[in-house]
Structures are given as structure tokens and as C-alpha cells.
Amino acid sequence: MVPPLTAATFITIILAGIFADGAWEIWARFITPFWVGGPLEPAALVQGVFGLSSRFAAEVIHLVVGVVFYPIGYLYIARPIARVVTPFLPWWIVGLGFGVGLWVFALYIMAHLFAGQPPFLGFITLTWASLVGHLIFGLVCATVVRWREGGF
């Protein structure tokens, strides 16, 4: 059901995180500005949630979460739940669903419940750009995991 805690699994986690976070960053910083007029700013959310004044510290926190903890969440929470609840769904749909879950976590739980912003930032254009970014993250994360497990 879940992968064993091995060096290969650790490498899978890190590779999935690097590629998924890299894809997210390309979307957030280079493509999103053409759509919404500016980049997505997850570090600003981290600063608001934790009361940090350091932009650098907020960027590092977001990077570590994206490279390490989100792929762990996919491997050990999202994918096992999907295998039990919706075993008929293909891996890439599970990856997209994981991305939606990350989006809900970011814009409802973190931005709204912790940082005091309107739920989903009031569904402004930035909200939808964030959804696309999280869908990309989830799909890339799932793709790397599938590749590492010999699924291609």
C-alpha cells in the first residue's frame, strides 16, 4: 500500500519534489504574471501565517515543504487513500486530485484559517492561477513517482 522507507524511496521523494516544485516555480514566477499581472507569492503567505519578517526564511520554508513534505504527503497519504477509496482512477487523475488538495490546503486552511485572508482569496484571478500551479505540482509529482516505480 505504501512504499517502504528506503534510500530509493527517499530519492523518489526528493526527485518528485525538485521536479514538481521546479514546475510550480516556472508557472508561478514566469507564466502567471502574463495572466494576472504578477507572480504567485507563496512566501508572502508563509510570512503572514508564521509572522516572519524574513522573506528569505519564508522562501526556504516554502521550498522545503514543496521538495520534501508534499511528496511525502502524496506517497504516504494521498495515493494510499486513493487506492482504497477510488482504486479505479488512473495515477494521473490521483496526481491532479492531490494538486487540488494542496490548493485547498494553501488557500483555505493556510491563507484563510491561519492568515485571515478571505476563503480562497475571494476567488480572484490569482486563485485560479494558484489552482493551475497546484495541479501542475500534483501531476509532476505523480509522474516522477510513477517513473521511479517503473511505471513508464
Q: Which mean pLDDT values do the consecutive 10-residue runs of the chain (152 residues) have?
A: 93 98 97 96 92 95 97 98 97 98 97 94 97 99 97 80
- 71 occurs within a structural domain: yes
Query: Which whole-number Å values give the CA distances from 85 to 7, 82, 90, 97, in the listed order?
Result: 29, 5, 13, 13
- 103 occurs within a structural domain: yes
Number of domains within the chain? 1
Report pLDDT for 131.
98
- 116 occurs within a structural domain: yes
Report pLDDT for 128.
98
- 51 occurs within a structural domain: yes
pTM above 0.85, yes or no: yes
- 2 occurs within a structural domain: no
Count of beta carbons in the 10 Å neighbourhood of residue 71: 26
Q: Decide: 47 and 58 in contact? Cβ < 8 Å.
A: yes
- 115 occurs within a structural domain: yes
Report pLDDT for 1.
80
- 35 occurs within a structural domain: yes
- 1 occurs within a structural domain: no
Range of the domain at 139: 7-148
Q: Which of 103, 106, 107 minimizes the C-alpha distance to 121? A: 107
